[in-house]
Amino acid sequence: MTIQWFPGHMTKARRQIEAKLKLIDIVIELLDARIPISSRNPMIDEILSGKRRLVLLNKADLADPGITEEWVRFFADEGLQALPVDASSGMNVQQIFALSREILQDRLEAQRRKGMRPRAIRALIVGIPNVGKSTLINRLAGRSAAATGDRPGVTKGQQWIKVGHDMELLDTPGILWPKFEDQEVGLRLAATGAIKEEILNVDDVAFYAVKQLLQHYPDALRERYQVEYGEVDLDNPHEIVELMEAIGRRRGCLMSGGAIDLEKASLVILRDLRSGRLGRISLDRP
């Protein structure tokens, strides 16, 4: 679901998260592994104000593994532990428990020293829409526990969900808005499906995606669509559009007169990109 984020919604979303922060020990910040910076809320450090944090690079199954490793190092340099996960399959999800304990180790130690039995770690998942918050909650809870509440301003009774043997999650995740100011960020969000491409022009999003693919994954389009192309001049939009048309021709994206339907071709390319059929692709690079 796409949210129109107006300033009022952002303020409300922020307040809701700030209210929840009081209840929890650790924030699980969910980012899209293909676009860890573009899928990050621009005010996140300010909003979380020093709360302990574990960064998850979700949808790692769709991201370029080498680039994801670079991101893990990037976050480590920022002082943040980052773990690539795939919430749909559960890859690495069990590591969240141990890493959270590690991040809170000093506190758990202090409780033990005082003779207190450490209580369950309380966590909140935050992230922009579509990044996989509900999928992760369901995966961690091992059942269909999460109510998708992608509506800023809708408050629900909160509940703790027990996950693992020593963690509790707030059942409603914190929903954050992405960056909007930067056009390239918008294109990356749209290309990966974080925002509906209808907000932008479908052709523009696909054009951007094709250009990125040619630059960083030059064989991806050739392999998927069996189109032949030599050296494409990335600064020449005509050459990129011609390639998109060639893909459209290959896929039978034709209008009634027989002309190529570029919009249809664009949708084919974007669908394939998002589902991983063009390979494991990262659009943000450290």
Question: In sequence order, what are the beta bridge partners of 174?
Answer: 126
Q: Is 134 annotated as a binding residue?
A: yes
Tokens of 211: 């250009």
Contact 123, 53 (CB under 8 A): no
Q: Is 130 annotated as a binding residue?
A: yes
Q: How far is CA 266 from the centre of its chain?
A: 22
**Which of 32, 23, 24 is closest to 179 using CA atoms?**
32
Q: Under the criterion CB under 6 A, does residue 59 sit at the interface with ligand G4P?
A: yes
Nearer to ligand G4P, 178 or 193 (CB): 193
Q: Under the criterion CB under 6 A, does residue 135 sit at the interface with ligand G4P?
A: yes
CA distance 219 to 240: 15
Choose, by CB under 6 A, the member of 58, 68, 192, 212 that binds ligand G4P. 58
Q: Is 89 annotated as a binding residue?
A: no
Number of residues counted as binding ligand G4P (CB under 6 A): 18
Give least dist CB 6 to ligand G4P, A.
19
Tokens of 236: 């020449």
Task: Tell me whether strands 160-163 and 174-175 are parallel, antiparallel or unpaired.
Answer: unpaired
Q: Under the criterion CB under 6 A, does residue 40 sit at the interface with ligand G4P?
A: no
Q: What is the DSSP letter of 146?
A: P
**Segment interacting with ligand G4P, rule: CB under 6 A, options 133-141, 152-160, 237-245, 277-285:** 133-141
Choose, by CB under 6 A, the member of 133, 188, 224, 251 that binds ligand G4P. 133
Nearer to ligand G4P, 147 or 234 (CB): 147
Nearer to ligand G4P, 87 or 213 (CB): 87
Q: Under the criterion CB under 6 A, does residue 131 sit at the interface with ligand G4P?
A: yes
**Contacting ligand G4P within 180-199 (CB under 6 A):** 193
Give least dist CB 237 to ligand G4P, A.
29
Give least dist CB 173 to ligand G4P, A.
7
Q: Under the criterion CB under 6 A, does residue 88 sit at the interface with ligand G4P?
A: yes
Q: How far is CA 129 from the centre of its chain?
A: 8
Q: Under the criterion CB under 6 A, does residue 129 sit at the interface with ligand G4P?
A: yes
**Contacting ligand G4P within 149-168 (CB under 6 A):** 150
CA distance 56 to 75: 10
Task: Count other C-beta atoms under 10 Å from residue 207's C-beta.
Answer: 20
Q: Is 61 annotated as a binding residue?
A: yes
Q: Under the criterion CB under 6 A, does residue 53 sit at the interface with ligand G4P?
A: no
Binding pattern to ligand G4P, positions 213-252, x when CB under 6 A?
A: ----------------------------------------
Positions that interact with ligand G4P (CB under 6 A):
58-59, 61-62, 86-88, 127, 129-135, 148, 150, 193
Binding residue positions for GTP:
58-61, 130-135, 174
